[in-house]
Amino acid sequence: MAKSSMGLPQDNFVLLDGRRGLGAILVLFGHTMQYWGPFSAPSGAVIVDLFFLLSGFVIAYAYEPRFAAGMRAAEFMTHRVVRLYPLYFLGTLLGFVGLCAMTVGDADGLQRAGERAVQLAPQLFMLPAPEVLGSEKLYSLNSPAWTLFFELFVNLVYVMCFRWLRDTRVLIGVVIACAAFLAFTVFSFGVIDVGSHWSDWWGGFARGGFGFFAGVLTFRLLGSPKTARRPTSKWAFAILVTIPVACFVPATAELRPFVDLTLAIVLGIPLLWISQTVAPPTRYHSLFILGGRISYAVYILHQPFREVAERITWHTPVLIEAAPFSGIAIMAMVVTLSVFAERYYDRPVRKFIVAKLKQREARKRNRKPAGAIAG
């Protein structure tokens, strides 16, 4: 049976694959909004919170049986890093090269390029660039990578505390505590769009913690994915369209925290429940699965294109004047790169790394204990 991008049977989670793809496109749209004309997405940041939610659901589905069977924390975290690092590395490298190239010809270009090189060192290890190195953002070379830091953090907390979190009552308490922390964060800053800069870095723990553990709790309550009955296409697209509609919810500054919290807490879990129990018509499966497969690549590789576009805009308004065609061109380039990067770089590299890890484990198992006497 064919598999979706999340490794699940094709009749399971296909709609969620489409949601992931659409979500990544909406993040790209939100980050390049000025090149799309008179459009806006005031609540677009909540897409990231829905990604955290989906991650918790899928990881719980894939790994909780393994944890119960004795899977070690180190093995689990290795799996997560292998899954995330290849495209993260490519996005960081593209960001570094692009930002350095854009300093050519500037009076302080050499100094700025040197600062970027210093900031590169920790980011190669998936660590934030310290503020003392001149970085306002946690990940100055590829700012969307901030979510990966908090994703890996909550992954580590999850596996280290699984002996307690396997009790659903404890998990419910954690989700309630994280929801309170998220509410405090949103009302502190007035928006949910926090966590990417050093000025609001601690908000990333609230967003990652609530989204991820709410996803795990949703899995516990719903159980393993059901084989979805095939609905009409109206169901599939009605569910998908709720995300972009939610991103365009207008609100005053006073109402913005309430809107963001409602979208993050109230919208996500019902959408997840509906999406894991229905599937689009078979003729759309390939498109939805493709969207899921390239979603991470679109998310983590689009920033260099955004940086180049902004650099051009500093010198000339041509890209803004060409909207929405400039936005369409940027999106087309990012999606094309993502398709090729996912198929010809990410998948082969991860396959190679996994094979090497398996070989190393096999050698450890076959190695005789020190001092053993042959009989």
pTM equals: 0.90
Strands (E), 124-278: none
Confirm if 264 and 46 have CB atoms less than 8 A apart. Answer: yes
DSSP-H helix ranges across 102-161: 109-123, 146-160
d(CA 286, CA 12): 13
DSSP-H helix ranges across the chain: 14-31, 46-68, 73-101, 109-123, 146-160, 162-165, 168-189, 203-222, 233-247, 256-261, 268-275, 285-301, 303-315, 318-321, 325-341, 347-366
Could you list the pLDDT tens digit for every one of the 375 residues in the chain?
Answer: 445 555 544 445 788 888 889 889 989 998 999 999 887 777 678 899 999 999 999 999 999 999 999 999 999 999 999 999 999 999 999 999 998 888 776 777 788 888 899 999 999 999 999 988 888 999 999 999 999 999 999 999 999 999 999 999 999 999 999 999 999 999 999 999 999 999 999 999 999 999 999 999 999 988 765 554 445 556 666 666 676 777 777 788 899 999 999 989 888 888 887 777 777 777 888 888 999 999 999 999 999 999 989 988 988 889 999 989 999 999 999 999 999 999 999 999 999 999 999 898 888 878 756 554 444
